[in-house]
Amino acid sequence: MTKTTYPGTAYRPILSEQEADRFTLPHYFTRRGHDGHSDTDVWQPTSIEVDPATPWVVGPQVGVDGATHGTVQQAVNAALRAQQDRPCIDIKLLPGIYTGAVYIPADAPPLTLFGTGEQPNDVVIQLALDSMFSPATYRETVNSHGEYQPGDPAWYMYDLCASKQNATIDTICAAVVWSQSDNLQMKNLTVVNALLDSVDGRAHQAVALRTDGDKIQLERVRLIGRQDTFFVNTSNLRNEYVTDRYSRAYIKDSYIEGDVDYVFGRATAVFDRVHFHTVSSRGAKDIHVFAPDSMPWAQYGFLAVSCRFTGDEGFSGGRKAKLGRAWDQGARQTGYQPNKTANGQLVIRDSTIDASYDREQPWGVAATTARPFAGNVDSARNLDDVQFNRLWEYNNIDEV
C-alpha cells in the first residue's frame, strides 16, 4: 500500500494538511449557494429516523403484512394527497422487488422511503430506462398501466418527459427514482436502473437516482447502474439545468456501482464511507467515477471521505478506470470559459483506492469540451483558480 503525499504531480495533485482542513463535512453544509453569494443555512445531518407505524406501506401483495399499496408511486401519491399538513411523510417498503418509476414533486413535504429488510438489497426499486429511448418508448415503459394521470402530484414531471418532441428523452428523463423535493431521505434499500449490460458501450445514460432538491440524505442505500447511475443535481420545475444555485446531499454507508460518469451533477454532496465499484462489463470507454459540474463561484462540489474505490476484473491488466473528470456542462458551443462556465470541484480524502484505477493520471479530460486536465501544483496555489481543474486528493491509500 502507498499513501498519496503532497504536492503530488500536475496529473495527480495532492492537498497539503493545511489545505485539506477546508474540505470537511461542516464546511460543505453551512451555506446554501446562489449565484455570486450564499446564504447561511447550517445543515447538520443526523442518522435517519423512521416511523415503523406509518400508514403508508408498500408490499408485493396488498393486504399482506400490512401492505396498503403494491407500488411505490401509489404510496407516494396517496401520502401526498392525505398529508393534511403533516410535517413529514414516511413510506415503508416491505422486502420485495418493485418495478416502476418513482417521481416525487417539488412541493412534497419532507419524505422518507425506507426498506424493512435486513439488508438494503432486500428491497429493490427497478426499471430499465435509457436516455436513447424515444418519447413513445418512454411512455410505454413508464406509464404502460396508467401509473401517471393528470391531477397526480407528479404528473407534471412525467408529462415534461412524455411530451418531449426530441428524437430521444435524454439524460434528464432517464431516472428510475426522480425527486425534485427538498428533504428527501432514503434508507436501507436499493435502486437499480436495470438497463445494465443489455446495451453496448456507447452513450446510454441510465440513471438510477436523480435528486434536485436541497438537504437530500441517503443511508445504507445501494444505487446500481452503468452510465450516470447517480445524478445529484439542481434544476427547476421545467426540468432545466440551472446555474444560479446549488443543492446539498449527504450519502452515508452506501454503495454505488457504474461505469461512465456514474456520480455526476451540480449539487454540493458529501459521500461518507461510501463504496464506489466500477465495472467494465459493458465495454464502455472513458470510464470515470465522478463528473461534477460545480459553478466556478461554488467553493464546494463533491467530497468523498473514508470511502472505498474498487473495480472488477476487467481492470486487472493494462486497462484502468479514472477517478473522475470535470463536466463542462453548458459549454459545448463556447468551450470552457474561465469564471463563466462550470469547473467541477471534487476532493477524495482519507480513502482507499484499489489497483483498478490509473495512478499516474487518475483524472480524465473534461466531459462535453474535452478540456485537458490541468492540475495546479504551485506552492502558492489558489485552490479555486479558474485556469486549473479543481479535482484533488488528500491522504488516500493506493492498495496493491
Indicate the annotated binding residues. Answer: 171, 205, 325, 327
Q: What is the CA radius of gyration of the chain?
A: 20
Distances (CA, A) of 218 to 27, 155, 335, 343, 398: 19, 25, 34, 26, 27
Question: What distance, in Å, lies between the first and last C-alpha atoms of the chain?
Answer: 6
SS3 97: strand
* Catalytic residue selected from 90, 261, 293, 328: 261
* 96 membership: H or E segment, kind and range: strand 96-99
Distances (CA, A) of 303 to 3, 56, 79, 273, 280: 19, 34, 34, 11, 24
Q: Cell triple for residue 16?
A: 497539503
Positions at the binding site for substrate: 171, 205, 325, 327
* Catalytic residue selected from 228, 259, 293, 328: 228
The number of angstroms, rounded, from the C-alpha of 351 to the middle of its chain's C-alpha atoms is 19
**What is the SS3 assignment for 242-276?**
CCCECCEEEEECCEEEECCCCEEECCEEEEECCEE
| Cα 117 to Cα 54: distance, rounded to the nearest angstrom | 16
- Would you call 122 a catalytic residue per the annotation? no
- Would you call 228 a catalytic residue per the annotation? yes
| Cα 232 to Cα 375: distance, rounded to the nearest angstrom | 25
SS3 193: strand
| Cα 400 to Cα 86: distance, rounded to the nearest angstrom | 52
| Cα 72 to Cα 184: distance, rounded to the nearest angstrom | 14
Which residues participate in catalysis according to the annotation?
228, 261
